[in-house]
Structure 1
Amino acid sequence: MDPLTEAEVVSHVRSALARGEGGWIVTPNVDILRRVSRDPRLRAQLCEADLVVADGTPLVWAARLAGWNLPARVTGSDLIWSLSRALAADHHGVFILGGTPSDGSGFAGTTADTDFDDVADLDGAHRAALVLADTFPGLRIAGTLCPPFGFDTDPDLLEAVCDAVIAAQPQMVYVGIGFPRQEHLIRRLRAALPATWFLGCGAAVNFVAGDIQRANPALQKAGLEWLDRLAREPRRLARRYLREDAPFAAALLARSLHHRLTHRPAHRA
């Protein structure tokens, strides 16, 4: 984990773009960390990222228990806003990939030349683009794509998605199709877009589009955003949060405390 605040991440990206350098931001939470800890291949892939910041309060707690300096939680759902604000100030272009298709299927997309007011059926990526463009004047929408679920298992459709993103030549790509699919797609795109930054942001595109409501700030600050999402989607998230992530988080905190107690620095004589 990189010990950075949200503002420091934004500053890092902005400086890199000014030099014509791209990169990749990974924001692991407890669920991602649990899955990565059990998959050496996936762990090796994520080590290719340029910035790794903690999208999960338990990770911050665990780091502090272990005696490591991890200043704050930095979420993809927050970065999509703060990065867009910085990109707008520099008149950079963003590509939004993900969200909910307008009809649940098909291949929907827009480009920088699309007149948003003339588009009848707005998918999630498109609506998120409208919100960001309206919130941050100066932000250039290089394009949007809202491919159907499972598109990345279809070689032709996957190639079409990649071609569309590459043709747009954006400075930033927000990929919100879920872990680890979004990370696999980012790794594929990076070679063709070395001057572009990528953020795998999961549900953030849906949050911006208004399809999913985020927990109130008090729950976020208390590290209980997962509880709000569980209440909204119990059937989909109960097993993951309660049977898999909660025990892993408890064990992580216990190991961190044990590390702190057994690795105290020696006192000087």
Structure 2
Amino acid sequence: MSKKEIVYLLSDSVGETAEFVVKAVATQFIRREFEIRQNSYVDKVSDIEDVIVEAKQTNSIIAYTLVIDFLKDYLNRRANEEKILAVDLLHPLMDAFITKFNREPIREPGLMRKLDEHYFQKVEAVEFAVKYDDARDIEGILKADIVLIGVSRTSKTPLSMYLAYKGYKVANIPLVPEVPAPHELFNVPRNRCVGLVITPDKLNAIRKERLKTLGLKPEASYARFERILEELDYAEKVMKQVGCPVINVSNKAIEETANYIIESLNMERSF
């Protein structure tokens, strides 16, 4: 029998969990080197049998993270028959969860990777929202899952960030009478663009408060009522031209507006 010390890793997914645990244990054995042989996406007994045959010829351990019962049972039986040490890295803790919390696992491989992918999707969406905030880069209009348009202080940026946290790539475009709306906006499918409007009184109050925090006088053109009416009128014309749904955000929380947008988007996708 070969004296080489080998740990065979078997997983019905990528096998990162098994590798991490085994390496963490191996580091506790100073001046010893263990060869780790990874076997990912094990989904049939022949995959297990190949490892059993090889492990019989070596000084080895099998460590596994199999959540599918028939594969786990087959491995345990064959390892016992061949007197190979096989270590289940997941099920002692899984059994503890079942006993203590009275819940049954769904036993689906690869869920951890799916969770990781969802996390990185969120990160990517947040980076997208920052990059394409306030029309900094017009290219974002055609790349976005959702495009928000509206005059200044209609919650476009906080709404973009909230939707990004939900995993949606969002670009937002301010509508200003003196600046023509980018032509890319009119090429966006209407169900991916949302117009945000607000009552003149509410917008006037928000802008005055904004000027105050900036140390500016509330009489500035930015908060002047006539100017606000002009901007809202222009924004309404653009939104009609785009043909997008319009939401009045006057008395809505960010979460409420975001949920409405997500529901509308999902409804359109279902057809």
Question: One fold, TM greater than 0.5?
Answer: no
The structure that has the greater radius of gyration is 2
With the length of structure 1 as denominator, give the TM-score of the two structures: 0.28
With the length of structure 2 as denominator, give the TM-score of the two structures: 0.28
